[in-house]
Structure 1
Amino acid sequence: MRLCDLREKEVINTVNCRRLGCVADLVVDMKKGCIQAIVVPGPGRLGGLFGYDSEYVIPFECICKVGPDIILVDICEEKFLCECR
């Protein structure tokens, strides 16, 4: 699967059935050549109109299932929400 295929998928948190958004980026271990985490933009300023202050960095182990249209994750959102620099 390619990054462009992942970007089209909606990320859903199975804990609260909340839609988090679409995959924006990946964190890759260059030595091992494997995905460590997916990055999803967090809640935006004024609905994302003025950009995003934070992002969800979701470890690969928290991904439950990758389907044809969605990616199911099992996370505590506060724990994986990081401030953008």
Structure 2
Amino acid sequence: MIKASDLTEKEVVNITDGRRIGLITDLEVDLHKGRINAVIIPDGGRMGGIFSKELEYEIKWSQIKKIGEDVILVEIRDTVEPAVYSNREEEVSYTPKEKPKISSDTI
């Protein structure tokens, strides 16, 4: 068994091109089915300014191929353009996802 905190300490690497994607900061969990749907990784490659939106990437659990001692290997076929494969709803390829802003009004 593995803990969520263990996942956040492992580097995520794309086996398709060998690129390091980053570290997991969050999980998308289906509470009704009791399973992890995706892992969330912030986009550290973009320079953020005061008015820029923070981006994060969602990697579907089905794209994770191996969880090792130090790294998590994922298979992302297309990293240039975000893509949704219509024949397999559960497979979304490296899709930028806007991080919701939390203000004092929403708390």
The number of residue pairs the alignment matches comes to: 81
Code of the residue aligned with 2:31 in structure 1: it is M
**What RMSD over aligned residues (CA atoms) do the two structures have, in Å?**
1.8
Write the distance in 2 (CA, Å) between the matches of 1:5 and 1:28. Answer: 16
Deviation at 1:38, TM superposition (A): 0.3
Write the distance in 1 (CA, Å) between the matches of 2:62 and 2:71. Answer: 16
Are positions 1:45 and 2:44 aligned together? Answer: no
Deviation at 1:83, TM superposition (A): 2.9
User: Which runs of 5 or more residues in structure 1 are unaligned?
Assistant: none
Write the distance in 1 (CA, Å) between the matches of 2:37 and 2:53. Answer: 22
Q: Report runs of 4+ in structure 1 exceeding 3 Å deviation.
A: none
Which residue of the partner structure matches residue 84 of structure 1? 99
> When you count helix as a share of all residues, which structure comes out higher?
1
For residues 4-83 of structure 1, the aligned pairs below 5 Å read 4-42=5-43, 43-45=45-47, 53-75=54-76, 76-77=78-79, 78-79=81-82, 80-83=95-98
User: Which runs of 5 or more residues in structure 2 are unaligned?
Assistant: 83-94, 101-107
8 Å Cα contact 1:44-1:52 kept in structure 2: no
Code of the residue aligned with 2:63 in structure 1: it is C
Q: Structure 1's 65 and 34: CA in aligned 2 closer, same or farther, altered over 3 A?
A: same
Report sequence identity in percent: 40
Larger radius of gyration, structure 1 or 2?
Answer: 2
> When you count strand as a share of all residues, which structure comes out higher?
1
Give per-residue Cα distances to partners, 1:16-42, cap 9 Å, x unaligned: 111011110000000011000000111
Q: Which has the higher contact order (CA 8 A, sep 6+)?
A: 1
